[in-house]
């Protein structure tokens, strides 16, 4: 995982509720390997029409939202499947944070583990950010994970994050290494080589 | 202090707890399918190996061809590569694989319970959001992504924060023609797609007590469709009778010891839940979805909602859903004409589901293209021994081999754009069964009836007997 550095960027609005993982990455793209990149698969059936032509009216395709690094979404973003491709596609497209009132539980965890920052804010705060993002924002948003803030103009909102996940994201650490340092505790729990659930 | 079923399982699996990171939970059973390729890649990149291959079990389900049931039958080279990667990775790691061609192959959430891999009081994870299915046996089971799959492969543990607890008490009596699928669709319609987000859900009450294990599996299966990672039911006599003699269940003296332990797992009578919900299903009619979210479920005798009359916040989504689904506001559900039927999936691909569907079509003819895909090879074998396959094929249904098939279409079993599909699966998301395909979720009995009549009917009028 890459270290998560604070950054200035623009935000794209996609404020619908319940955007599911099948919309984020249609299942037919799941055979691709991580290294192949999933940029083109992101929101594929909304970004492109049946002939493969860009749908100009879709938020991410509008000139003022091209290159956005922050996605402003609705309730329950990333509900549905556990497929991590949804997170990879957002990262490959260039997103580094998603702001929403709530997230699908498995998507939320997948995001934290891959360096995509999921920011939970109350709907009224997301609405303020949506107003600020309307019509294009030219890098006017600033996110600091260290201070747990998202700022635009004179407005700044603070968000919560699990301190352990915050540390991992800031340092670019993966939790497997961290857990393997607790191997003694795991071995003690197992109490031998058998099946611990049948002991 | 009184404890819930969930509290008991959670604390029994607490390897260590930290205020910042939560609880390091021990994982008793790691079930994997083709989607584990990325997890194995991460492991390999880090120079690690599978820590407990003896607690890891694999099957092929998502990319399995249901016609030519062989790895070589996977038509697309990339997809075949994923199945071959599962075969290679499990072989190299010494993980038992119920792969294509194995007599115990099947959808991971069908074979786990069927083989007795899933046991009460255990923790079960799988890189699949429908893992809560296994909670029907009183296991703490949840879906995880590829990074967590790698974490479990490497450490046999996971860092988790304890969720809030919700109990849904279901009372009343199921009317003929209704089943657990109708109950769970009614619950999701009531609490919404994120209604249980952040919660573990324990299903309880007299209706749950009377449900068979297969019906309980259907109930827990769709917990994630209400936002809950975990769904649970306390083990009881029905659970114990179901598990007795399963290939991986304990035997002999061990069996009695485990049964005694399982009997202590149920929530204490005065256990406290953060949210307590009660639902009476006495008036429940067969349910069917009209929109593009599982919460868009209504009774078969109802009408498609009018977006002008729904909550303002939901109005735009309802309009978009009606537009995608090609339906008009206010039309009767029984007037919706279908093009195709799919019976199968981890939600409704078990033997009792197939029996239920066969009961509806017996002696009738399908007027729509209809596909039956057993949830496991053992389900298929059992169905054939009972002659269900002949009921289906003589009614004009296609009888296929086991896999996830048209629930998600990753193996190529898809409908074509604009088609309307009656499906016993769990998600009616836009494009789930193919670009532009309109999916309606329902029970196996309803799907079978649609194959025969072309439109929804109240199946309680064509099947009899109370359950």
Q: B16 and chain A: CB distance < 8 Å anywhere? A: yes
**Inter-chain residue contact B48 with A176, CB threshold 8 Å:** yes
Q: Which of A79, A110, A197 sits opposite B193 (nearest CB)?
A: A79
pLDDT in tens, A84-108: 999 999 999 999 999 999 999 999 9
pLDDT at B463: 66
Residue in the structure block whose two tokens are 């109930």:
B219
| pLDDT confidence bin for B466, thresholds 50/70/90 | very low
pLDDT in tens, A138-165: 779 999 999 999 999 999 999 999 999 9
User: What domain range includes position A157?
Assistant: 7-173
**Within-domain flag for A128:** yes
| pLDDT confidence bin for B464, thresholds 50/70/90 | low
pLDDT in tens, B362-392: 899 999 999 999 999 999 999 999 999 999 9
Contacting A residues, span 7-66, partner chain B, CB-CB under 8 Å: 16-18, 20, 22-23, 26-28, 30-34, 45, 50
**Within-domain flag for A77:** yes
Neighboring chain B residues of A190 at a CB cutoff of 8 Å: 26, 156
**Within-domain flag for A192:** no
Question: Is B426 within 8 Å of B225 (Cβ atoms)?
Answer: yes
Superfamily of chain region B5-275 = Aconitase, domain 3 (3.30.499.10)
Residue in the structure block whose two tokens are 């599962």:
B86
Dist. CA B386–CA B398, nearest whole Å: 17
pLDDT at A137: 66
Q: B145 and chain A: CB distance < 8 Å anywhere? A: yes
Asked whether the predicted pLDDT for residue B467 surpasses 60, the reply is: no
| pLDDT, mean of residues B281-291 | 97
Question: Is B433 within 8 Å of B423 (Cβ atoms)?
Answer: yes
Dist. CA B242–CA B238, nearest whole Å: 6
Closest Cα in chain B, distance from residue A106 (Å): 6
Asked whether the predicted pLDDT for residue B465 surpasses 90, the reply is: no
Neighboring chain A residues of B432 at a CB cutoff of 8 Å: 22, 27
Q: In chain A, which residues have pLDDT < 70?
A: 137
pLDDT in tens, B246-259: 999 999 999 999 99
pLDDT in tens, B292-349: 999 999 999 999 999 999 888 789 899 999 999 999 999 999 999 999 999 999 999 9
Q: How many CB atoms lie within 10 A of CB B385?
A: 9
Q: A189 and chain B: CB distance < 8 Å anywhere? A: yes
Chosen from B11, B20, B21, B312 to mutate, greatest number of chain A CBs within 10 A: B21
Dist. CA B33–CA A7, nearest whole Å: 38
Dist. CA A134–CA B130, nearest whole Å: 37
| pLDDT, mean of residues B282-289 | 96
**Residue B256: Cβ-neighbour burial (10 angstroms; 0-12, 13-18, 19+):** exposed
Q: A197 and chain B: CB distance < 8 Å anywhere? A: yes
| pLDDT confidence bin for B461, thresholds 50/70/90 | confident
CATH number at residue A38: 3.20.19.10
CATH fold of the domain at B290-461: Aconitase; domain 3 (3.30.499)
| pLDDT, mean of residues B156-168 | 97
Dist. CA B53–CA A63, nearest whole Å: 51
Neighboring chain B residues of A186 at a CB cutoff of 8 Å: 15, 24, 26, 155-157
Dist. CA A132–CA A70, nearest whole Å: 12
pLDDT at B460: 79
pLDDT in tens, B389-443: 999 999 999 999 999 999 999 999 999 999 999 999 999 999 999 999 999 999 9
Dist. CA A147–CA A6, nearest whole Å: 9
Contacting B residues, span 148-177, partner chain A, CB-CB under 8 Å: 148, 150-151, 154-157, 159, 161
Q: B259 and chain A: CB distance < 8 Å anywhere? A: no
**Within-domain flag for A188:** no
Q: How far is CA B21 from the centre of its chain?
A: 30
Dist. CA B146–CA B36, nearest whole Å: 7
**Inter-chain residue contact B144 with A87, CB threshold 8 Å:** no
Dist. CA A46–CA A59, nearest whole Å: 9
Neighboring chain A residues of B63 at a CB cutoff of 8 Å: 31
**Within-domain flag for A187:** no
Dist. CA A119–CA A148, nearest whole Å: 9
**Within-domain flag for A21:** yes
Q: A184 and chain B: CB distance < 8 Å anywhere? A: no
- Segments making up each domain of chain B, as ranges: 5-275, 290-461
**Within-domain flag for A44:** yes
Q: Which of A107, A185, A198 sits opposite B250 (nearest CB)?
A: A198
**Within-domain flag for A108:** yes
Q: State the total domains in chain A.
A: 1
């Amino acid at each position: 995982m890459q270290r998560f550095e604070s950054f200035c960027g623009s935000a794209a609005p996609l404020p619908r509720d319940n955007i599911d993982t099948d919309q984020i990455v249609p299942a037919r793209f799941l055979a691709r390997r991580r290294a192949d990149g999933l940029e083109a698969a992101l929101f594929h059936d909304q970004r492109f029409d049946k002939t493969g032509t860009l749908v100009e009216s879709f938020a991410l395709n509008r000139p003022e939202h091209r290159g956005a690094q922050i996605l402003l979404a609705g309730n329950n973003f990333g509900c549905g499947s556990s497929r991590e491709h949804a997170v990879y596609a957002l990262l490959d497209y260039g997103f580094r944070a998603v702001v929403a009132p709530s997230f699908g539980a498995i998507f939320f965890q997948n995001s934290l583990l891959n360096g995509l920052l999921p920011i939970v804010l109350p709907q009224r705060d997301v609405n303020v950010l949506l107003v600020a993002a309307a019509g294009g924002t030219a890098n006017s948003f600033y996110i600091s994970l260290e201070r747990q803030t998202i700022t635009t103009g004179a407005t700044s909102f603070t968000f919560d994050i699990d301190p352990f996940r915050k540390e991992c994201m800031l340092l670019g650490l993966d939790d497997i290494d961290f857990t393997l340092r607790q191997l003694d505790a795991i071995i003690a729990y197992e109490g031998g080589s058998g099946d611990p659930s049948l002991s | 202090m009184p404890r819930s079923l969930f509290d008991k399982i959670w604390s029994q699996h607490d390897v260590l707890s930290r205020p910042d990171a939560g609880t390091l939970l021990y994982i008793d059973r790691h079930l994997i399918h083709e989607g584990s390729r990325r997890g194995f890649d991460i492991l390999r990149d880090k120079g690690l190996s599978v820590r407990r291959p003896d607690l890891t079990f694999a099957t092929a389900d998502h990319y399995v061809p249901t016609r030519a049931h062989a790895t070589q039958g996977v038509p697309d080279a990339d997809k075949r590569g994923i199945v071959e990667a599962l075969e290679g990775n499990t072989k190299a790691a010494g993980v038992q694989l119920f792969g294509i061609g194995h007599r115990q192959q099947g959808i991971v959430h069908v074979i786990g319970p069927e083989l007795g891999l899933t046991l009460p009081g255990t923790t079960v994870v799988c890189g699949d959001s429908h893992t809560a299915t296994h909670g029907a046996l009183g296991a703490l089971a949840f879906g995880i992504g590829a990074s967590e799959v790698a974490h479990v492969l490497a450490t046999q543990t996971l860092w988790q924060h304890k969720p809030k607890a919700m109990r849904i008490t279901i009372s009343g009596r199921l009317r003929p023609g209704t089943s657990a699928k109708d109950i769970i669709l009614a619950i999701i319609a009531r609490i919404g797609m994120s209604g249980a987000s952040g919660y573990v859900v324990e299903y309880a009450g007299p209706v749950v007590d009377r449900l068979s294990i297969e019906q309980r599996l259907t109930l827990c299966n769709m917990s994630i469709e209400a936002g809950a990672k975990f769904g649970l039911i306390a083990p009881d006599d029905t659970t114990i009778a179901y598990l007795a003699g399963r290939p991986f269940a304990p035997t002999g003296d061990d069996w009695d010891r485990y049964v005694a332990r399982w009997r202590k797992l149920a929530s204490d009578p005065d256990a406290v839940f953060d949210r307590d919900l009660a639902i009476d299903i006495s008036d429940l009619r067969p349910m069917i979805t009209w929109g593009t979210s599982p919460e868009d479920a209504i009774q078969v005798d109802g009408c498609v909602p009018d977006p002008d009359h729904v909550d303002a916040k939901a109005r735009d989504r309802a309009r978009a859903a009606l537009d995608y689904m090609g339906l008009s506001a206010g039309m009767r559900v029984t007037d919706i004409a279908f093009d195709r039927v799919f019976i199968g999936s981890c939600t409704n691909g078990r033997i009792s589901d197939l029996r239920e569907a066969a009961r509806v079509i017996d002696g009738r003819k399908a007027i729509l293209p209809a596909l039956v895909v057993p949830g496991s090879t053992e389900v298929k074998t059992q169905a054939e021994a009972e002659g269900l396959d002949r009921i289906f094929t003589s009614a004009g249904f296609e009888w296929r081999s086991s896999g996830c098939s048209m629930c998600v279409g990753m193996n190529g079993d898809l409908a074509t754009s604009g088609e309307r599909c009656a499906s016993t699966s769990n998600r009616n998301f836009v494009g789930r069964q193919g670009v532009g395909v309109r999916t309606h979720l329902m029970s196996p009995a309803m799907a079978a009836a649609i194959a025969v009549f072309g439109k929804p009917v109240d199946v309680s009028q064509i099947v009899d007997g109370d359950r």
